[in-house]
Structure 1
Amino acid sequence: MPERSAVQTTDESLSDRVSSGADAVVAALEAAGVDTLFGVQGGAIMPVYDALYESALTHVTMAHEQGAAHAADAYGVVAGDPGVCLATSGPGATNLVTGLADADMDSDPVVALTGQAPTDLVGKDAFQEVDTVGMTEPVTKANAFATDPDTVGVDVSEALALAREGRPGPTLVDLPKDVTNAETDQPPTTPDEVETPEVPGEADGAAVMEAASVLAAAERPVVLAGGGVIKGEATPELRRFATEYGVPVVTTMPGIGTFPEDHDLAMEVAGMHGTGYANLALQHCDAMLAVGTRFDDRLTGGVDTFAPHADIVHVDIDPTEHSKNVHTAYPLTGDASVVIDQLSDAMPRAPDASAWRQRCRQWKDEYAMEYVAPDDAPLKPQFVVEALDALTPRETIVTTGVGQHQMWAMQYWTYTEPRTWVSSHGLGTMGYGLPAAIGARVAADDDQSVVCFDGDGSFLMTLQELAVAVREDLDITVVVLNNEAVGMVRQWQDAFFDGRRMASEYPWAPQFDVLAEAFGARGFRLDTYDAVEETFRAALDYDGPSVVDAHVDPEEDVYPIVPSGGNNGKFAMNEEQLS
């Protein structure tokens, strides 16, 4: 963690009850406006939990520390403020690592507080001791080892500030038990400022003028909206720019919800399993306004073939992202909302792109997202997703695990608002969906529905968190697209490994509807088309957690697809085109 800057005291009423390092930790959380924590109790973190006993903070006890990290992650995605997770030392801390790595890849604001063996035992193989700081340094934005009860509150305050400042990300404070147990009378403090890489609010004016001229002169312009648009609260500015200047909008997976997918200019998601028309728009554009995207390999396919004709204007708060993966002709570093407005003000005219818009519309018709669903065949997962979408409000939050079900939820649900798509993007963490639904439910407005799409393989990894959903009486609807396989692995084995299905199919799987009932949730089994609407209405109407075990066609694959490292313009719409 960077060197501590000057601090100032906050609410004096909090300082009145600080008598230990643990009290200072809790007071720092309260002073920062934190209201909810996700965690698992244990020996080394116990002093902090004892301090929570008298606190107004809400604590959600998770079944597993990985679930706590994912729940905190999803809370941060939906709320826009850091989610906080707690774990004890040793296995508690190691179990957080997957969730922290996930948040780090997706630039999600998370703060982790971990217990640690007493300071004098650190490095001596004490009970449940691991090098938490060393272990998590590669997957956190910053971390710190607390050494002094008088300053531990500042350590936590800085972690909270760093998680949200600039490019968001996870931070961690490791809390030795002697530090949290020790006496202190230091009041909770918050930093005046934290030392982060300096990022200008505005981009360089001359660079903005040059970029605006390029965009205005384009005949085939495209906006590429990434997750940074949502994290930078720049959705209104991006929508205003695109509609005012008539520019088609493509999104990345993390950028889902930045632009309404039912809008005439929406080309939806690009990349490996993006729409054919989105990929064609990127491949044929002559100017691209890319905002808040890191151009990862799942988006670009082969970098050498990505957007070969485009002059790329790249807006990002992190200057290290410019030309990291794809050459950026016009890099603009700054706050997304501010820079988009700068560009809008600098545009000399709207681009002459009427013919281009017409071409994009033709691509949408030619490569429409369609599938065949015979009544006498097994349920198609695409139909299941579309049916639930039709029964839920536009603002419904969708969480997913990772795999085929994630792609179908991305492709066949219509997203119109930011912070309604919550998934694991960069790390691709199976099991993310259910604990994410818990975090999303806690963060969401009371009148928002929360739906989780999971696969049978992904659901098996974290289904113990159903106990939490039942205990906390959380109204979430989980739909398991059950194809009795790790479907994406099976699909790739069929396509690229000559059909050798090694360790990707399940000869036996539990009855998830019955299992849900054992947990105290409502369980439903879905096998036929004529039962879909009735089953979903019953699951949605249930005031609590429900699980729909939807048995879908085990041979159904995800299309379109671009083979890894391939040319996005050469996507396959079906198996025949892939071979």
Structure 2
Amino acid sequence: MSEPVQPATETGATDADATDADAEPTETEPPAEGAETAETEPSSEDADAPAPVRTGAQSVVRSLENAGVEHLFGVQGGAIMPVYDAVYDSEMTHYMMAHEQAAAHAADAYGIVSGTPGVCLATSGPGATNLVTGIADANMDSDPMIALTGQVPTEFVGNDAFQETDTTGVTAPITKDNTFASSSDRVGDDVGEAFALAGSGRPGPTLVDLPKDVTNGDTDQEPGSPTLPDTYHVQERAPAEDVADAARTVEESNQPVLLVGGGVVKGEATEEARAFATEYEIPVVTTMPALGSFPEDHELSLEMGGMHGTGYANMALTHTDCLIAVGCRFDDRLTGGIETFAPDAEVVHVDIDPAEISKNIEADHPLVGDAATVLDQLDAAMESAPKATKWRATCKQWQSEYPMEYAAPEDEPVKPQFVVEAYDAATGDDAIVTTGVGQHQMWAAQYWTYTEPRTWVSSHGLGTMGYGLPAAIGARIAADADGNEDAAVIAFEGDGSFLMTMQELAVAVRENLDVTVAVLNNEYIGMVRQWQDAFFDGRHSASDYGWCPDFAKLAEAFGAKGIAVEAYDEVADAVEESVNYDGPAVVDFRVDPAENVYPMVPSGGDNGQFALAEDQL
């Protein structure tokens, strides 16, 4: 391997001691007779200069280096090979995933934990289409990510060439921006622009499709630092008059609620949200993507609202007279029926994306702008706190009336909630939780006490089964890169969800990544089974997973630590062993197959009429 190129400097240059092996030799004139022939050392400036860009692929890689990218997730293939060849000479670390979908999920999770766009790569055709689920997932959750896809040579595009797909056409509806690269001279800047767009304003996934002739083509154009297009503008501050009107509404309310959405985490506004809530003593409800944005052990926390939110959060949302929603898109899993959601509230809606304002819930006070900036504006405009002493007492009463409790008889199968609480107790506040999708996701959201942002990594809007393990890989790498090597990474998976991406154990073992996978194995697609019991007369059509493999033995076959648990008295030792194991561990918890997720608001229902048992649905 050639000497690696060093990471980008502040000026966008990179350091390298390497010379280009393909450079043409130059002829030099012999020194004139009598001339001095002392050897001259190259200046330190010349020694530190990067190898010149000579191909489009090298320009792509240089652009990523200029952006400060250190880690890549992908799967090699024919049309993306020129880019991978250029990566060979870079100091960026590439993680070869077992499947392209997992590459996208790992990059997505990397972006969630680090706050900077994750990068995934795939070849043309099936490589690109296998990324689609992960791209759509990132798009629904506004996660910063950039996808680089190989493409057949430009002259073959449109001719149904081998492994050709209209990647930009396929991904246009699920990307913040996508580009078909058409020039070797321009391709590096295309990538830089995509990187800048992915992390700016409302974050999201971007994509650059890279025809092989463009990446193989000659160029001497050095790409610059990531730059936003001139046409892209983000409104940071809300109009002062609108902020003042909203502040008067908050002051005059008697039953205010601060609804914190995922945009508070994306916008690095958790400190501002916490300060606003505590300064004015306003109870706080979070959406599921916002778990950790407000500490759940705080006396003002009502935890998560929505379909499987706490009873007290949903009661507060139903009875509030002033809802201050920040970075929230009011999706159906939060609101239930639109007509019954916060029916008596004046709604103050803060969001950086004007398209979200009044899209689902009508905003009485629309405040378009950056979450942190607008919260600071609102704080500055406040003249007094709302008189909400009785309201806070009512919220406390609801917490007593609707506690998050469950029965755990020792003579019955292990309850999944017990497993979640055991891992929470065994790890620190900096532990990162990732999940797949299903009942296990809800238990992980409900029974873990989240106190810090960017410690909850899950698939919210798209609801992608199998997300948990590849997300744990991306989260682990991001945490290590940020100096948080001691933070535990716990992936809660269901048996059905784990089966979809368990091949990524090979990656975790190969890279010796310290991740723990807790499989809450109830031998069902549990959430489907729960709905079938509630709404389909208990007809378990295609939801029974009694044929699952022994996940502990399967883990051992991959080279991971495998542990099986069937009784309560085995839980503590299994949790301790898996958390302390230096490398990937999988614990197959055989949990109660009849356990359901409650509280539950039926789809389109009234949040204030949540069910605590099946007979209440």
TM-score (norm. length: structure 2): 0.92
Structure 2 residue identity aligned to 1:530: D
Aligned with 1:205 (options 240, 258, 268): 240
AA partner of residue 10 (structure 1): G
Aligned mates of 2:597, 2:11 — CA distance in 1: 55
- 1:348 positional shift: 1.2
State the SS of the aligned residue for 1:282: helix
Give deviations 1:150-176, integer Å, cap 9, x for gaps. 010000000000001110000000000
Q: Does 1:528 align with 2:579?
A: no
Instruction: Map 1:525-564 onto structure 2 (within 5 A).
Output: 525-564=564-603
Q: CA deviation at 1:197?
A: 4.6
Could you tell me which residue of structure 2 aligns to residue 11 of structure 1? 13
Q: How far is the alpha carbon of 1:10 from its aligned partner?
A: 3.2
Q: Does the alignment pair 1:30 with 2:32?
A: no
| C-alpha distance in 1 between matches for 2:164 and 2:235 | 41
Could you list the per-position Cα deviations for residues 12-47 of structure 1 after superposition, in whole angstroms to 9, with x for gaps in the alignment?
757633110000000000000000000000000000
Tell me if structure 1 keeps the 8 A contact 2:554–2:562: yes
* Matched position secondary structure for 1:188: coil
Residue in structure 2 matching 1:419, options 454, 476, 497 = 454
Of the two, which has the highest radius of gyration?
A: 2
Worse-superposed segment, 198-207 or 48-57? 198-207
- Distance in 2, matches of 1:566 and 1:370, equals 23
Q: Following TM superposition, by how much is the alpha carbon of 1:447 offset from its aligned partner in structure 2, in angstroms? A: 1.9
Any residues of structure 2 matched to 1:3-402 within 5 Å, and which?
10-11=12-13, 16-190=51-225, 192-195=227-230, 197-402=232-437
The amino acid across from 1:38 in the alignment is F
What CA distance in whole angstroms lies between the structure 1 residues aligned with 2:510 and 2:251?
A: 56
Count of residue pairs the alignment pairs up? 571
Distance 1:217 1:526 in 2: 54
Tell me the SS of whatever aligns to 1:323. Answer: coil
Aligned amino acid, residue 571 of structure 1: F
Task: Determine if contact 2:432/2:456 at 8 Å carries over to the other structure.
Answer: yes
Distance 2:215 2:440 in 1: 43
8 A Cα contact 1:103 1:169, kept in partner: yes
Match of 2:544 in 1: 505
What whole-Å deviation, never above 9, does each CA across 1:321-369 have from its counterpart, x for those lacking one? 0100000000001110010011111111011101000000010010000
Matching residue of 1:4: none
Note if contact 1:433-1:452 (Cα within 8 Å) is conserved in structure 2. Answer: yes
**Per-residue Cα deviation, 1:509-531 (whole angstroms, up to 9, x for no partner):** 10000000000000000111111
Tell me the equivalent position of 1:5: none
Per-residue CA deviations over 1:223-257 (Å, capped at 9, x if unaligned) read 00000000000000000000010000000001111
Task: Give the whole-Å Cα distance in 2 for the aligned partners of 1:328 and 1:320.
Answer: 12
For 2:91, give the aligned amino acid: A
Cα deviation 1:104-162 (Å, max 9, x = unaligned): 00000010000000110111011100000000000000000111100100000000000
Does the aligned pair in 1 maintain the 2:530–2:596 contact within 8 Å? yes
Provide the C-alpha distance between the structure 1 equivalents of 2:182 and 2:583, rounded to a whole number of angstroms.
43
Q: CA deviation at 1:202?
A: 1.2
| Secondary structure at 1:189 match in 2 | coil
* Counterpart residue identity of residue 502, structure 2: L
CA–CA distance in structure 1, aligned partners of residues 394 and 563 of structure 2? 44
Partners of 1:192 and 1:483 in 2: CA distance: 49
Candidates 454, 457, 472, aligned match of 2:496: 457
Asked whether the 8 Å contact 1:274–1:411 carries over to 2, the reply is: yes
How many angstroms does 1:448 deviate by? Answer: 1.1
Partner of 2:6: none
Distance 1:341 1:190 in 2: 30
- Asked if the contact 1:281/1:360 (under 8 Å) is kept, the reply is yes
RMSD: 1.1
Counterparts of 2:387 and 2:201, CA distance in 1? 35
Q: Unpaired runs of 5+ in structure 2?
A: 1-9, 16-48
- Cα deviation, 1:76-109, whole Å, max 9, x if unaligned, reads 0000000000000000000000000000000000
Q: For residues 471 and 174 of structure 1, what CA distance do their matches in structure 2 show?
A: 29
Q: Secondary structure at the match of 2:206?
A: strand
Q: Which residue of 474, 477, 481 maps to 2:516?
A: 477
Once residues 15 and 563 of structure 1 are traced to their aligned partners in structure 2, the CA distance between those partners, rounded to angstroms, is 59
Q: Is the 8 A contact 1:389 1:414 kept in 2?
A: yes
What is the Cα deviation at residue 196 of structure 1? 5.6
State the alpha-carbon separation in 2 of the partners of residues 22 and 243 from structure 1.
51
Relative distance call for 1:487 and 1:157 in structure 2 (3 A) is same
Counterpart of 2:505 in structure 1 is 466
* Secondary structure of 2:285's aligned partner: strand
Cα distance in 1 for partners of 2:536, 2:229 equals 50
* Unmatched segments (≥5 aa) in structure 1: 1-7
Q: Quote the Cα distance in structure 2 between the aligned partners of 1:25 and 1:59.
A: 15
CA 501–378 in structure 1, closer or farther in 2 if over 3 Å, else same: same
Highest RCO, 1 vs 2 (Cα 8 Å, sep ≥ 6): 1
Would you say the 8 A contact 2:436–2:493 is kept in 1? Answer: yes
| In structure 1, C-alpha distance between the alignment counterparts of 2:497 and 2:227, rounded to whole Å | 43
Q: Aligned residue for 1:3? A: none
**Contact kept? 1:15, 1:188, Cα under 8 Å:** no
Deviation (angstroms), 1:575: 1.6
